Chains A and B, each alone.
Chain A
Amino acid sequence: EIVLTQSPGTLSLSPGERATLSCRASQSVSSRYLAWYQQKPGQAPRLLIYGASSRANGIPDKFSGSGSGTDFTLTISRLEPEDFAVYYCQQYASSQYTFGQGTKLEIK
């Protein structure tokens, strides 16, 4: 099983700032098979990024993904109040999909 470790666990930033979230895999993951989701309290997750860097339908360009191998990053530029949520990375490179434990992005 591929283990995904996200850091930091909690990120405290102010609106207007830039957020950088990390996802590290226990073994190399093809960038074609790495996704990021956003989840707000009481809601289902929402797909933001797939294939490590492709934005899903309707996702604004302030969200960007990058990385390869074992290290992946989600960057959110110009934070707005609605961006404060929990973010999960996911790998779907193997028949056993896994998620990271999540990064909570909170207002400072």
Chain B
Amino acid sequence: QVQLVQSGAEVEKPGASVKVSCKASGYTFTGYFLHWVRQAPGQGLEWMGWINPNSGDTNYAQKFEGRVTMTRDTSISTAYMELSSLRSDDTAVYYCAKGAVPPGISVLTAFDYWGQGALVTVSS
């Protein structure tokens, strides 16, 4: 069965960087886009961008351009999201989510499986 298992909670200081991992299993890792979505405490969902695990190509939300980097290691079916220059309003649960259809069919897709989320707390 498809599983996305994320790394654990992190506490970081303002100005620092954080790197969250997302290990995929149960499907062909390189066959589907991997998206990142965050949710601040008590707030809604915010899309951050996607990575094509096959090519390494990325597409970031304009809000995060210059601060976010999405990478992957195909040898261990793991994707990473690094956010730099952290601020207190970056405190959120960060989710990875799998695109529902292969990019060969459509690069525009809903998300059919989600990781359990990783809480990142930014505090001095």
Dominant secondary structure at the A interface: loop
Residue ID in chain B nearest A51 by CB atoms: B110
Contact between B112 and A56, CB atoms less than 8 A apart = yes
Name 12 extra pairs, CB < 8 A, besides A37-B111, A47-B100, A102-B44.
A35-B110, A45-B45, A45-B111, A47-B112, A50-B100, A50-B109, A50-B110, A56-B112, A92-B108, A93-B108, A96-B47, A98-B47
Residue ID in chain B nearest A45 by CB atoms: B114
- Chain A interface size range: 20 to 34
B77 contacts chain A at the CB level, 8 A cutoff:
no
Residues of B with Cβ closer than 8 Å to A? 35, 37, 44-47, 59, 61-62, 95, 97, 100, 108-112, 114-117
Among A9-54, those with CB < 8 Å from B are 32-33, 35, 37, 39, 44-47, 50-51
Closest 9 CB pairs of A and B: A44-B114, A35-B110, A50-B110, A97-B47, A99-B45, A101-B44, A102-B44, A92-B108, A47-B112
Bound complex: CA A108 to CA B94 (Å): 31
A84 contacts chain B at the CB level, 8 A cutoff:
no
Q: Which of B37, B44, B114 contacts A100 (CB 8 A)?
A: B44
Residues of chain B within 8 A of A32, CB atoms compared: 108
Residue ID in chain A nearest B49 by CB atoms: A97
